[in-house]
Structure formats: C-alpha cells, structure tokens
C-alpha cells in the first residue's frame, strides 16, 4: 500500500477558496437527481484539484476533502469542531432522533448506553446466529435458480440484525422494509443533491415542532413504526446485552428518561443502518468474485481447508484471512457509505484554507479509496494487497472514524466473513446479467440494476466452464 506525503506548507492560501470547478460546470453536482453522477462529478473534481477542493452553488460553498491527514483532522483530531451535515438532517425525517442523527452531548450518552452490545465478547455471541441464518439461506437456494442478489442479501442481513440485536424474527417484515427503503431511495434521489438549500426550512420546522410529523417520509416512517412497535411490546426478559435489553434497562433505571419514542427511534436506526449497509457490501463482494474466478477459487480453497463440511464459528474468523481480505477489498472499491458530510461549528482553518461556519465538507470513502496516490492499480480488485499490510490510516475508512464511527463495525466485519463462508461452502454464484452493472443512486452505494446470479452447487461448479460475464465491469 502506498502513501505520498502532501505538503500543505504555509503558503498564503488563507482566505482564498481552494481550487475547484467553476461556472456552469458546478451544476454537475446536482447530477440530474442521480447520486452516482454526483459522485462522479466529485471524483473528477478531487482528481483535478487535489486534497481539498471547493465550489459554490448559489449561496452554498461545498468542500471536498480527499486526503487522509485532513480526513483524520475532521473525523478525529478536531471532531468537536464539527457536526454532521445535511444527510443527517434528511435522515432524521425518516428515523427520528437516534444514534445516527444525534449530536453531542446526547450522542455521547446514547453511545455509552448502547456500546456494550458491540463489545468483543458480546459480538462473539452473535456468531452462531449469523452462521445459522446464512446456512438457512444456503439450504433454501435451489440449483440453477437465478436470484436477485441484493434482495437475497438484504433478507439475510435483516434476519441477522433482528435475531442478534433484538431477538426478533424479521423475516416476515423483509418485504415491507424493502418497499419502504425503495420508496425512500427514490424520493432521496431528487432530494439529496439540492437538499442543502431546503435544509434551513427543515431545521426551522424541527425547531418549532420537534415531534412533528415527518416532512418527506410520513407514510414510510409510519410503516417502520408499525413493524418495530411489537418488538418493544414483546419485551424479552433477557439477561443478554443486546440493543433492546440495554435500552429497556436504561428506561427502567432512569424512571422513563428514555421515552417509547426514543426506543422506537433507536430500533429503526439499527434495523436500517444495520442491514442495508452490510447487504450492499456483500452484494458487491459476490459481484466482484463472480468476475474474478482466480480469487474466487482461492477463497473457496481457504474456506474448504479451514471449515470443511461443518458450519463456521467465531474461532474460525482469524484464520479466514483471505476471505476477510476479499470482504475488505470489496469495501474499498464499493464502500456502502459512499459519501458523508461534516460542517464546522465555527469558522476554521483546514489545510491552510479558511472554511466558514456552516459550510458543507464532504468526505468520500468511494473517492479516497480509489485514489492512486494511496493505492496502486486503484480500480483493480486485489485482495492480495491486504497481505502486504493495512493501507494508510484514513486512506481507507468505510466505517468513518472518531466518536461517530460506525458502532456496528465489528458486527459487520464478522458478519461479512461468516456469510461469505457459509454460502460459499455450498454455492458458487455465477453472474448472469447481460448489461454492465454500474453504481446507482441514493445515500448507499447500491448497484444501478438488479444483479442476477445463477446458483451453482459447489461440487458441480468445480467442473463447470467459467461463465461469460464480459458485460460486467468495475
């Protein structure tokens, strides 16, 4: 993994805006309602203008930071100078005030309550449920069937989150939740690029009516509440430290400081943040594997040698090194959280430039993780690069960083490896799309069309010819 030093020097950049696209070009940011095009526009800007670039749309100045040191400054070293950006304001209209949308000091307090659900020993206790759900999916699949991969991965990761974090069976709700996500995705497609301009109105509304109905997702929010409310009502008398038990215990201890609505918001947060992201990461992983038979064979060999014909366990994970590298490398090329933002609370200096209070600063794992300054052959799928060591800090940050870093990171990493191992033990997934798959729209880096996979039982797969999948490309 490589790293080039960036010299910021003490050049007289102060007060001058960083370089970036100008004139009509900047409207490329709006992407015609397509987040994929917005990201392409940002990627081109980063490559042309370097570690920190900026442009202005109407009254709004937007910055893009594509440099590990500056990313670390924002997410970790000077994190208290920033708050979440526009995306969180829009998300709050769907999920309410939860861990993913709160600011300090409430965020810190909520994180303290929930953190035990993600401690190492607790995470270890989720492994068997993860493997069990994945093995169940493997046994439901039929040889020769063609599956919609993303839909299958969503169903599986939803079942896993339900079982591990809430002791609930979400399999019957998968269709309802998928429909909500699809509707939210479609509406966000138009809302996201121009949302910075709507935002002051949304914030004013929320200040006036903190518990007022959702502005953009009223029926979707109602549907999610209908799905999660029974979980609270069927409260488990469990001694475990899963998310629902921690929230319930806190409510009891504090005499109701945590309202039913607070608990509902957290459950909705974890259901949504905890399944769609991992499902997307797994979808791209299978997609890449199907295009790289050599890598696929190597992963199968490792799984065969370490697990053989039994189900994978927590103790196998450190030995599934290549499988872990496959998952990490897929998240380098296709990080589910492709872009997120921060905004300075006060006017600050960053990389020698003055950035005014309230400006939008975008950080993009998708853009930085494909930067040739940090990765050789940046668009190539090469799990082997992980054998040479970890990439520079914050050149790879699919889970963010600092106090607001993904709380589910250890959960997701373990789940990725266990699901790959359980499914690959039985099946080979052969790409059967005729057209190339690209990056779609929305707040999560989904494919722009269904990825169709033909299921081949592993024993038979070994003697089958390689699939013709030249249509697919990175």
Closer CB to ligand HEM, 84 or 251, in the complex: 84
Strand order in 452-457's β-sheet?
A: 146-148, 452-457, 427-431
Residue 271 in tokens: 């259901």
Task: Give the bridge partners for 205, in sequence order.
Answer: none
CB closer to ligand HEM, 193 vs 274: 274
Which of 295, 444 has the CB closer to ligand HEM?
A: 444
CA distances from 19 to 65, 148, 411 (A): 12, 43, 39
Task: Give the nearest residue (CB) to ligand HEM.
Answer: 408
Tell which positions 160-179 bind ligand HEM, by CB under 6 A. 161
Interface stretch with ligand HEM, choices 198-206, 251-259, 394-402, 432-440 (CB under 6 A): 394-402
- Binding segment for ligand HEM (CB under 6 A), chosen from 249-257, 330-338, 346-354, 427-435, is 330-338
Residues of span 281-300 touching ligand HEM by CB under 6 A: 281
Which letter, b or e, does each residue of 262-299 get, where b requires 16 or more Cβ atoms within 10 Å of its Cβ? bbbbbbbbbbbbbbbbbbbbbbbbbbbbbbbeebbebb
Judged by CB under 6 A, does residue 330 bind ligand HEM?
no
For residues 409 to 448, the per-residue mask of contacts with ligand HEM, x marking binding by CB under 6 A and - elsewhere, is --xx------------------------------------
Question: Is residue 374 a contact point for ligand HEM (CB under 6 A)?
Answer: no
Angle CA(159)–CA(275)–CA(442) in degrees, nearest 5? 140
Output the CA–CA distances (angstroms, integers) from residue 355 to 2, 273, 359, 415, in the order listed: 29, 30, 7, 39
Beta carbon nearer to ligand HEM, 76 or 311: 76
62 binds ligand HEM (CB under 6 A): no
**Strand duo 353-355 + 348-350: pairing:** antiparallel
Of the candidates 158, 273, 445, 453, which one interacts with ligand HEM according to CB under 6 A? 273
The backbone torsions φ and ψ at residue 469, rounded to the nearest 5 degrees and listed phi first, read: -130, 35
Task: Write out the binding residues for ligand HEM, residues 76-95 only, by CB under 6 A.
Answer: 84
The span from the first CA to the last CA of the chain, in angstroms, equals 20
Q: How far is the CB of 323 from ligand HEM (least distance, A)?
A: 15
* Total of residues contacting ligand HEM (CB under 6 A): 25
Whole-angstrom distance, CA of residue 298 vs CA of residue 381: 14
Would you count residue 129 as binding ligand HEM (CB under 6 A)? no
**What is the biggest distance separating any 2 CA atoms in the chain, rounded to whole angstroms?**
66
Calpha distance 161→124 (Å, rounded): 14
Binding site for ligand HEM (CB under 6 A): 84, 99-100, 111, 161, 269-270, 273-274, 277-278, 281, 335-337, 340, 398-400, 404, 406-408, 411-412
């Amino acid at each position: 993994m490589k790293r080039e030093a960036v010299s910021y020097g003490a050049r007289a950049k102060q007060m001058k805006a960083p370089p970036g696209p100008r004139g009509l070009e900047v409207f490329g940011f709006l992407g015609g309602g397509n987040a994929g095009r917005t990201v392409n526009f940002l990627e081109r800007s980063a490559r042309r203008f370097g570690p920190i670039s900026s442009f202005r749309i109407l009254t709004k100045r937007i910055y893009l930071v594509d440099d590990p040191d500056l990313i670390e400054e924002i997410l970790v070293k000077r994190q208290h100078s920033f708050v979440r950006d526009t995306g969180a304001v829009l998300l709050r209209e769907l999920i309410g005030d939860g861990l993913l949308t709160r600011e300090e000091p409430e965020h810190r307090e909520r994180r303290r309550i929930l953190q035990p659900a993600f401690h190492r020993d607790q995470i270890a206790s989720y492994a068997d449920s993860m493997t069990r759900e994945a093995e169940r999916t493997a046994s439901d699949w039929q040889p020769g069937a063609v599956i919609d991969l993303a839909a299958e991965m969503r169903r599986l990761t939803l079942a896993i989150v339900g079982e591990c974090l809430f002791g609930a069976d979400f399999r019957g709700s998968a269709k309802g939740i998928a429909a909500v996500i699809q509707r939210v995705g479609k509406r966000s497609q138009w809302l996201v690029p121009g949302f910075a301009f709507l935002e002051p109105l949304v914030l004013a509304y929320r200040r006036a009516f903190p518990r007022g109905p959702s502005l953009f997702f009223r029926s979707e929010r109602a549907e999610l509440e209908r799905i999660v409310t029974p979980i609270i009502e069927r409260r488990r008398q469990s001694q475990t430290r899963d998310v629902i038990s921690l929230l319930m215990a806190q409510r009891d201890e504090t005499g109701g400081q945590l309202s039913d609505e607070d608990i509902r918001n957290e459950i909705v947060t974890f259901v949504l943040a905890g399944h769609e992201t991992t499902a997307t990461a797994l979808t791209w992983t299978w997609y890449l594997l199907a295009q790289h038979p050599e890598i696929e064979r190597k992963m199968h060999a490792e799984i065969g040698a370490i697990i053989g014909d039994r189900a994978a366990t927590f103790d196998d994970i450190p030995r599934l090194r290549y499988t872990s590298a496959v998952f990490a490398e897929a998240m380098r090329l296709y990080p589910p959280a492709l872009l997120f933002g921060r905004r300075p609370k006060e006017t600050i200096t960053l990389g020698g430039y003055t950035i005014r209070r309230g400006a939008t600063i975008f950080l993009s794992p998708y853009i930085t993780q494909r930067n040739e300054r940090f990765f050789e052959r940046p668009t190539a799928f090469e799990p082997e690069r992980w054998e040479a060591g970890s990439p520079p800090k914050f050149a790879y940050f699919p889970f963010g960083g600092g106090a607001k870093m993904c709380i589910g990171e250890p959960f997701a990493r373990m789940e990725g490896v266990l699901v790959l191992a359980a499914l690959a033990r039985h099946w080979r997934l052969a790409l059967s799309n005729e057209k190339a798959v690209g990056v779609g729209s929305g707040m999560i880096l989904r494919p722009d069309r269904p990825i169709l996979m033909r299921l081949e039982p592993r024993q038979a797969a070994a003697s089958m010819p390689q699939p013709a999948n030249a249509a697919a490309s990175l």
